[in-house]
C-alpha cells in the first residue's frame, strides 16, 4: 500500500504524535475495505500512540474515524476514503493534529473556529486527483479537530459514486453542511469561517474604512500584486494589498515548472510562498476583499479611493491594479444553468467524476488538448470541439491526441447551447461553421478550455481598457489615470505567465514610486 519512501516519510511525521488516539474503522468484505485495512494497519504499526480498531459500525463502508483514547468524544473527523494521491497530506495532517501536533495556522483563525458556537455537520466530496480539494479537506478537518461541535466527513466521490449521483454532485470539492449544499470549489479556512460568521463583513468594513491612506495600495494578490507589494514595502512606504483570494490563479495550477530558479513546484505551494514573502515585510494584507469601484483622485496628486464589496473605502496616494484574469465562459444558453452539473472548467479536479462517461472539451489550444488527453485515460469518450479550422495546440500534443482511440476531434464548430435533463447536462449543440448545419453531441460532462478574461468589469468607464477589456498601460505600468498603475494578466502586456506578471508587478511598483516621489506632499493625507 505505502511504498518504502512514503513509509519512511510517514514514520518521521508520526514521531510528532504526542497524544494517543484510536483509529476506528468501519469495514465490509469489499476490496476497498481490504485496501483501507492494509493502510490503517501500516499506520498503526508505526507508532504505539495509535491503536487500530476495526469494530466501527458506520453506514459508510469503508470509512474510519480518529478519536483520542480514553475520551468519550463523539466522532468528529471521518474519512470515507482511502486518502492517498493528493489527499495523503490531508491524512498526515489529520493524524498529527489529532495527536496534538499544533497546526501551522494563525492563532486568530483557530480562535475564530473555536468561537463558532453552533453544531455543524460538514460532508466534503473530493476526488484523489483533485488539486483543489486538499485545502478544503484540511480546513474542515482542522475545524472538526479544534471545535467539538463541528463534524467533518471526507468522502471520495469515486468510492461513493451512488451517493454522489443521488446528490447530483458533478464537481469537486463540494461541501454540504447539515445536509444542504454549502459551497463548491477551493476555499481556505479563512473563507469558510467568513462564510459561517455572518457579522464578519460588517466588522471588516468598519475596520477597513478606518485605515489611514496608503502610499501604495495594491488591488489583487496574485504574482503581480505580491511582487508589487514586496517592491513597495522595500522602499519603506506604507503599503496595503486588498485581494479577493491571495495567490490568484496559481492557486488553481497543478505543476509549475517555468518560474525561473524554481525547477518544479505546485500552485498552492507557490501561492503560500508568495504570501510568505509579502509577510516578510510590513504590508497590510486584506484578504477576501473584492474591489467594486475605483474612484479617481478629486485633484491632481490627490488620493485615489477603492470601494470594496462590503462598502468600505481604502485610499492610496498611488494604486496598483493587479486583478488578473479568470476562465473564459462560452457565453451560450445553458452554461450557467449546468455549471457544476456537467459544465466544468477544471479537468484535474472533476475528470474522475466522469469515469466511464462521454465528455466534451471545448477549445483546441494547449489547455484544451492537454485536458482531452488527460480525460481520455479516465472517461469513456472525449469529443474535442474547436471553433477554428484546425487545433492551435503544440504539434506534439496534437499528434498525441490524434493517436488516442477514444477521442473525436471536431473543428469549425461553434457551440450554441448546453442542454440537460433533470438538472444535469446531457449534451451540447453546435453549428458547423462550414455547412451551417446545426449538430449535437450527447455528453454528460463538458470541460470549457477557451482561455481567460481580464477581471476589469468593475473598472469600466474609469480608465482606458483595450477592446479585450485589458487595462492599457505604458512602459512603466501607468494607466490613463494619474497615480493609478496596473500589472500582470489584467493589462495589455502580452503573454500571461507567472514570471511575466511578477516582473510586471515589480515594474509597476517602481513606476508608481517614481510618480510618488514627484508629487508635492499631500495636504491632508
Ligand atoms: C490552470 C492554470 C495553469 C497555469 N499554469 C501556469 C504555469 O505553469 N506557468 C506560468 O507561468 N503561468 C501559468 N498560468 C498563468 C499564471 O497563473 C498567470 O499568468 C498569473 O497568475 C497572473 O498573475 P496576476 O497576478 O496578474 O493575476 P492573478 O494570478 O489572476 O491574480 C489576480 C488577483 O486579483 C484578485 N482579484 C481579482 N478581482 C479582484 C477584485 N475585484 N478585487 C480584489 N481582488 C481581485 C484575485 O483574487 C487575485 O488575488 C496558469 C494559469 C492557470 C489558470
Nearest CA to ligand 1 atom 30: 324
pLDDT-derived band at 367 (thresholds 50, 70, 90) equals confident
Ligand 1 atom showing the smallest separation from residue 245 Cα: 47
Quick one: average pLDDT of 382-409?
96
Instruction: State the distance from the centre of ligand 1 to the C-alpha of 322, rounded, in angstroms.
Output: 9
| 71 pLDDT higher than 80 | no
Separation in Å, CA 271 to CA 28, 128, 253, 296, 326: 41, 21, 10, 31, 16
The H or E element that residue 271 is part of is: helix 267-279
Q: Do 469 and 475 touch, CB atoms closer than 8 A?
A: no
Q: Whose CA is nearest to atom 41 of ligand 1?
A: 291
Q: Give the C-alpha separation, 9 to 514, whole Å.
A: 50
Q: How far apart are CA 299 and CA 301, in angstroms?
A: 6
Burial of 434 (0-12, 13-18, 19+ CB in 10 A): exposed
* Whether pLDDT at 200 is above 90: no
What residue's CA is closest to ligand 1, atom 14?
Answer: 497
Ligand 1 center to 39 CA (angstroms): 37
Q: What is the pLDDT of residue 86?
A: 87
Q: Whole-angstrom Cα distance, residue 127 to residue 154?
A: 10
Measure the CA–CA gap between 164 and 359, rounded to whole angstroms.
18
Q: DSSP E strands: which ranges in 236-312?
A: 239-243, 255-256, 265-266, 283-287, 291-295, 304-308
Compute, in angstroms, the gap from residue 325 CA to the centroid of ligand 1.
6
pLDDT (mean) for 390-410 = 96
- Ligand 1 lining (C-beta closer than 6 Å): 219-225, 242-246, 248-250, 252-253, 256, 258, 290-291, 322-325, 455, 458, 488-490, 496-499, 501
CA dist 64 and 83 (Å) reads 11
Residue 357: is the preceding peptide bond cis (ω within 30°)?
no
Kindly give the distance from the C-alpha atom of residue 387 to the centroid of ligand 1, in angstroms, as a whole number.
Answer: 25
The percentage of the chain sitting over the pLDDT mark of 70, rounded to a whole number, equals 98
Cut 0.85: pTM above it: no
User: How remote is the CA of residue 222 from the centroid of ligand 1, in Å?
Assistant: 5
From residue 253, alpha-carbon distances to 58, 175, 256, 264 in Å are 36, 21, 7, 12
d(CA 175, CA 167): 11
If you measure from the C-alpha of residue 283 to the centroid of ligand 1, how many angstroms do you get, rounded to a whole number? 20
- Is 157 strand, coil or helix? coil
For the chain, what is the mean pLDDT? Answer: 93
What distance in Å separates the CA atoms of residue 127 and residue 64, rounded to the nearest whole number?
A: 17
What pLDDT does 185 receive? 87
Whether residue 524 is predicted with pLDDT greater than 60 in this model: the reply is no
Which atom number of ligand 1 is nearest to the Cα of residue 291?
42
Comparison of pLDDT for 279 and 203, the residue scoring more: 279
Confidence of residue 525 (pLDDT cuts 50, 70, 90): very low
Using most ligand atoms within 8 A of CB, pick from 254, 278, 324 the residue to mutate for ligand 1.
324
Please give the pLDDT value at position 130. Answer: 87
Tell me the CA–centroid distance for residue 250 and ligand 1, in Å.
Answer: 6
**Residues 6+ positions from 54 with CB-CB distance below 8 Å:** 25, 27, 37
Asked if residues 430 and 416 have their Cβ atoms less than 8 Å apart, the reply is yes
**CA of residue 501 to ligand 1 center, whole Å:** 8
Binning pLDDT at 50, 70 and 90, where does residue 251 land? confident
Three-state SS across 319-377?
A: EEECCCEEECCCCCCCCCCCECCCEECCHHHHHHHHCCCEEEEECCCHHHHHHHHHHHC
Q: Residue 89 has what pLDDT?
A: 94
Q: Ligand 1: which of 220, 263, 346 to mutate, most ligand atoms within 8 Å of CB? A: 220
Distances (CA, A) of 333 to 13, 120, 144, 339, 343: 51, 36, 40, 11, 12
Distance in angstroms (rounded) separating the CA atoms of residues 510 and 231: 7
Amino acid at each position: 500500500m505505502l511504498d518504502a519512501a512514503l513509509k519512511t516519510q510517514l514514520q518521521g511525521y508520526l514521531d510528532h504524535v504526542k497524544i494517543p488516539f484510536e483509529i476506528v474503522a468501519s469495514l465490509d468484505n469489499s476490496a476497498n475495505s481490504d485496501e483501507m485495512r492494509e493502510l490503517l494497519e501500516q499506520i498503526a504499526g508505526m507508532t504505539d500512540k495509535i491503536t487500530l480498531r476495526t469494530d466501527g459500525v458506520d453506514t459508510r463502508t469503508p470509512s474510519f474515524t480518529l478519536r483520542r483514547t480514553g475520551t468519550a468524544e463523539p466522532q468528529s473527523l471521518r474519512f470515507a476514503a482511502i486518502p492517498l494521491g493528493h489527499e495523503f497530506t490531508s491524512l498526515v495532517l489529520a493524524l498529527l493534529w489529532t495527536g496534538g501536533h499544533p497546526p501551522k495556522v494563525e492563532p486568530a483563525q483557530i480562535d475564530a473556529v473555536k468561537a463558532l458556537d453552533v453544531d455543524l455537520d460538514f460532508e466534503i466530496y473530493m476526488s484523489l486527483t483533485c488539486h483543489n480539494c486538499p485545502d478544503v479537506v484540511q480546513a474542515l478537518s482542522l475545524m472538526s479537530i479544534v471545535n467539538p461541535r463541528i463534524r467533518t466527513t471526507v468522502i471520495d466521490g469515486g468510492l461513493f459514486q451512488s451517493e454522489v449521483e443521488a446528490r447530483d454532485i458533478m464537481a469537486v470539492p463540494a461541501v454540504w453542511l447539515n445536509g444542504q449544499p454549502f459551497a463548491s470549489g477551493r476555499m481556505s479556512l479563512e473563507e469558510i469561517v467568513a462564510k459561517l460568521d455572518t457579522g464578519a463583513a460588517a466588522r471588516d468594513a468598519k475596520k477597513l474604512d478606518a485605515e489611514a491612506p496608503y502610499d501604495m495600495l495594491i488591488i489583487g494578490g496574485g504574482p503581480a500584486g505580491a511582487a508589487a507589494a514586496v517592491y513597495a514595502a522595500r522602499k519603506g512606504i506604507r503599503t496595503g494589498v486588498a485581494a479577493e483570494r491571495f495567490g490568484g490563479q496559481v492557486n488553481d495550477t497543478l505543476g509549475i515548472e517555468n518560474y525561473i530558479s524554481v525547477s518544479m513546484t505546485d500552485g498552492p505551494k507557490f501561492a503560500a510562498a508568495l504570501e510568505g514573502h509579502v509577510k516578510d515585510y510590513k504590508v497590510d494584507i486584506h484578504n477576501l476583499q473584492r474591489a467594486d469601484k475605483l474612484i479617481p483622485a478629486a485633484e491632481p496628486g490627490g488620493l485615489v479611493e477603492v470601494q470594496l464589496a462590503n462598502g468600505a473605502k481604502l485610499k492610496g496616494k498611488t494604486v496598483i491594479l493587479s486583478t488578473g484574469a479568470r476562465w473564459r465562459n462560452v457565453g451560450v444558453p445553458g452554461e450557467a444553468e449546468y455549471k457544476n452539473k456537467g459544465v466544468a472548467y477544471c479537468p484535474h479536479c472533476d475528470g474522475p467524476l466522469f469515469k466511464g462517461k462521454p465528455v466534451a472539451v471545448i477549445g483546441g489550444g494547449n489547455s484544451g488538448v492537454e485536458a482531452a488527453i488527460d480525460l481520455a485515460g479516465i472517461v469513456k469518450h472525449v469529443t474535442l470541439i474547436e471553433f477554428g479550422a484546425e487545433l492551435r495546440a503544440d504539434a506534439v500534443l496534437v499528434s498525441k491526441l490524434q493517436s488516442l482511440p477514444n477521442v473525436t476531434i471536431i473543428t469549425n464548430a461553434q457551440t450554441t447551447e448546453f442542454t440537460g435533463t433533470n438538472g444535469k447536462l446531457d449534451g451540447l449543440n453546435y453549428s458547423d461553421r462550414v455547412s451551417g448545419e446545426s449538430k449535437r453531441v450527447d455528453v454528460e460532462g463538458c470541460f470549457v478550455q477557451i482561455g481567460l478574461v481580464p477581471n476589469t468589469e468593475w473598472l469600466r468607464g474609469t480608465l482606458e481598457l483595450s477592446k479585450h477589456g485589458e487595462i492599457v498601460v505604458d512602459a512603466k505600468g501607468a494607466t490613463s489615470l494619474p497615480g493609478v498603475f496596473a500589472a500582470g494578466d489584467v493589462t495589455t502586456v502580452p503573454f500571461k505567465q507567472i514570471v511575466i506578471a511578477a516582473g510586471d508587478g515589480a515594474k509597476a511598483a517602481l513606476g508608481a514610486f517614481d510618480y510618488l516621489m514627484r508629487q508635492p506632499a499631500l495636504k491632508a493625507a
